[in-house]
């Protein structure tokens, strides 16, 4: 690599003893920041539109909803928070979150995955995971503490610049680490970073989502602070381009979606998501849009990268909105598909056999509502619901406004199945019996209604809350938060819950899971001050809206 971050050869465990070049970069970026007022409103969204959303939600007088709303979101976040009586959980959550902080050379650089002192084995829960840190980062940004987020972005950017080799095979230059840990040497008084790019992960799969979350978090930092110097620095510009180069490269694939292996995202074990999982496609779409707003076009390389992003976004939005979307009408159409169709006039373009539609989906699908299904590929449609992908689709505006409202309609109509007694089902329904043996490889952790196989994950609370606020349905988020507050603190902030309704603490769930704690805090702060949504929400690009005539059941 050119520039301050040099290319160095390392083993599969990349060790960074001193990071002098990182410190130099950090000092260069510590120049006085631009005096730009923090963005306190939704992108391109008027106060009148938001008030209409609150009216639909049953808030009779939206002017009493929040001081931030009354003043057009110009009131500081702290004033908005002070207008609410804090829940007893909030203080405990902040205390626990701060206990999870990780320091490198005296500076906070992230949060470990869990602070469970009762656990028999540490495993990798003492590491800073890129995807896990996102809700922690948002909590600190919303609380006016951006330095830790900036440190994290710079540390992971430096790790990206190192050559990665696993079993003599070189990974792509743009791959971001799944996690890293800090080793303290009290004798030599030195700190060392050790990163994992997949060589230590279960299944030895590289994290496709890490790079996307990094770009999304970089935009969130920029929107929250108004500090453009970090995103516009040569190294951050290069880091974004390296990530996108991996994804935008041309090959044999005829689809604009990304082909991914099992275990490459939050669902980090074999769960039958091989192919084009909705979580990765939604994150890919959002990262492309975030990068588009931050990439500079002052040279030929920058202009070419932006042009490729724009073309891919148009193709990806058309593909996802058309082929991944499922509602009552579309389900009926698939049920009546003909097979063995040939040429460009085919309606059943993926040659899906109608008999492969699972029985549960006919009862699950309400008359009003819809969602993006889990996967689409030749002769295969995975009809399972995946929460993260659908929430990110709303936040990134991959979902049209009509589709976003339909997703919220589905959550309300199928509350017991998707929310139950602890928000939120990561996937629905659970796979079991013979299918479980085939799909998961008899995975004892992913038994039915547990872990990623239909388990309930409190961390998803922040995502569904953000989606609720964006669609003008805050009452759904409020109801979900109240459910979480009835159990989370008492149960010790577990990683996940088991059972059809999420009634039981997960059989292998760690206590004081950091992203469960941070997810709750972010949900609370967003509901109390909806202007925070601007960090992680993108408004619809009218130019990408395709003409789709597949469905008549979307609600307005």
Range of the domain at 453: 215-535
pLDDT at 41: 35
Instruction: Please give the model's pTM, rounded to 2 decimal places.
Output: 0.84
Tally of CB atoms within 10 A around 336: 10
Domain containing 373 — which CATH number?
Answer: 1.50.10.10
Q: Is residue 163 part of a domain?
A: no
Q: Is residue 22 part of a domain?
A: no
Q: What are phi and psi of 126, to 5 degrees?
A: -95, 15
Number of domains in the chain: 1
Inside any domain, residue 317: yes
- Residue 189, domain member (yes or no): no
Give 378-383's long-range contacts (Cβ < 8 A, gap of 24+): 378/350, 378/351, 379/350, 379/351, 379/352, 379/353, 380/275, 380/350, 380/352, 380/356, 381/334, 381/350, 381/352, 381/356, 381/357, 382/272, 382/273, 382/275, 383/326, 383/357, 383/358
Q: What is the pLDDT of residue 543?
A: 74
Residue 337 within a domain: yes
297: DSSP letter: -
* The pLDDT of residue 162: 65
- What is d(CA 403, CA 419) in angstroms, rounded to the nearest whole number? 20
Name, in order, each residue with C-beta under 8 angstroms of 449's C-beta and a sequence gap of 6 or more: 430, 455, 498, 499, 500
Q: Is residue 379 part of a domain?
A: yes
Q: Is the dihedral of CA 133, 1, 24, 10 positive or negative?
A: positive
Ordered per-residue pLDDT tens for the chain, 556 residues: 444 444 333 344 444 343 444 454 444 444 433 333 433 333 434 433 443 444 444 443 333 333 333 223 333 444 444 445 678 899 999 999 999 999 999 999 999 999 987 887 888 899 999 999 999 999 999 999 999 999 999 999 999 986 777 777 888 889 999 999 999 999 999 999 999 998 887 878 889 999 999 999 999 999 999 999 999 999 999 999 999 999 998 889 999 999 999 999 999 999 999 999 999 999 999 999 999 999 999 989 999 999 999 999 999 999 999 999 999 999 999 999 988 887 777 888 888 999 999 999 999 999 999 999 999 999 999 999 999 999 999 999 999 999 999 999 999 999 999 999 999 999 999 999 999 999 999 999 999 999 999 999 999 999 999 999 999 999 999 999 999 999 999 999 999 999 999 999 999 999 999 999 999 999 999 999 999 999 999 998 877 755 444 444 444 3
| Predicted pLDDT at 9 | 39
pLDDT for position 86? 78
Tell me which residue of 223, 263, 236 sits closest to 440, measured CA to CA: 263
Within a domain: 278: yes
pLDDT at 37: 40
């Amino acid at each position: 690599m050119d520039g301050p971050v040099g290319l160095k050869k390392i083993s599969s465990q990349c060790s960074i003893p001193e990071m002098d070049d990182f410190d130099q970069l950090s000092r260069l970026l510590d120049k006085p920041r631009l005096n730009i007022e923090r963005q306190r409103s939704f992108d391109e969204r008027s106060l009148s539109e938001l008030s209409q959303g609150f009216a639909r939600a049953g808030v009779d007088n939206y002017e009493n909803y929040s001081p931030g709303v009354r003043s057009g979101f110009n009131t500081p976040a702290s004033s908005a928070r002070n207008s609410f009586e804090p829940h007893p959980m909030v203080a405990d959550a902040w205390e626990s979150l701060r206990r999870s902080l990780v320091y490198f050379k005296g500076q906070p650089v992230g949060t470990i995955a869990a602070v469970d002192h009762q656990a028999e084995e540490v495993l990798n829960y003492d590491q800073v995971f890129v995807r896990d840190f996102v809700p922690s980062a948002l909590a600190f940004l919303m609380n006016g503490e951006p330095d830790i987020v900036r440190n994290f972005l710079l540390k992971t950017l430096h790790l990206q610049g190192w050559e990665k080799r696993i079993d003599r095979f070189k990974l792509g230059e743009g791959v971001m680490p799944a996690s890293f840990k800090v080793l303290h040497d009290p004798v030599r008084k030195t700190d060392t970073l050790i990163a994992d790019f997949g060589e230590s992960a279960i299944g030895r799969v590289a994290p496709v989502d890490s790079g996307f979350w990094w770009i999304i978090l970089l935009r969130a930092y920029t929107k929250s602070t108004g500090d453009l110097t970090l995103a516009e620095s040569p190294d951050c510009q290069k880091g974004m381009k390296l990530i996108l180069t991996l994804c935008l490269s041309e090959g044999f694939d005829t689809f604009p979606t990304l082909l991914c292996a099992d275990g490459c995202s939050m669902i980090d074990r074999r769960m039958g998501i091989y192919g084009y999982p909705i979580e990765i496609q939604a994150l890919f779409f959002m990262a492309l849009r975030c990068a588009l707003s931050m990439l500079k076009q002052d040279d030929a390389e920058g202009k070419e990268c932006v042009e490729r992003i724009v073309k891919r976004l148009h193709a990806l939005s058309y593909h996802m909105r058309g082929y991944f979307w499922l509602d009552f009408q579309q389900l009926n159409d698939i049920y009546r598909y003909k097979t063995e169709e040939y040429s460009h006039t085919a309606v059943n373009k993926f040659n899906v056999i109608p008999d492969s539609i699972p029985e549960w989906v006919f009862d699950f699908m309400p008359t009003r509502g819809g969602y993006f299904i889990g996967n689409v590929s030749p002769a295969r449609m995975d009809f399972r619901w995946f929460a993260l992908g659908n929430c990110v689709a709303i936040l990134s505006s991959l979902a049209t406004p009509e589709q976003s409202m339909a997703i919220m309609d589905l959550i309300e109509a199928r509350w017991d199945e998707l929310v139950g007694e602890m928000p939120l089902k990561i996937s629905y329904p659970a796979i079991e019996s013979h299918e479980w043996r085939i799909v998961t490889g008899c995975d004892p952790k992913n038994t039915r209604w547990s872990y990623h196989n239909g388990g309930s994950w409190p961390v998803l609370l922040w995502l569904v809350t953000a989606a609720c606020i964006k669609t003008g349905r805050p009452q759904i988020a409020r109801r979900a938060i109240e459910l979480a507050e009835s159990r989370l603190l008492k149960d010790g902030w577990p990683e996940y819950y088991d059972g059809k309704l999420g009634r039981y603490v997960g059989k292998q769930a760690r206590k004081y899971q950091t992203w469960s704690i941070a997810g709750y805090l972010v949900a609370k702060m967003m509901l109390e001050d909806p202007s925070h949504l601007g960090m992680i929400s993108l408004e619809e690009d009218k130019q990408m809206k395709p003409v789709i005539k597949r469905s008549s059941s979307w609600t307005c």
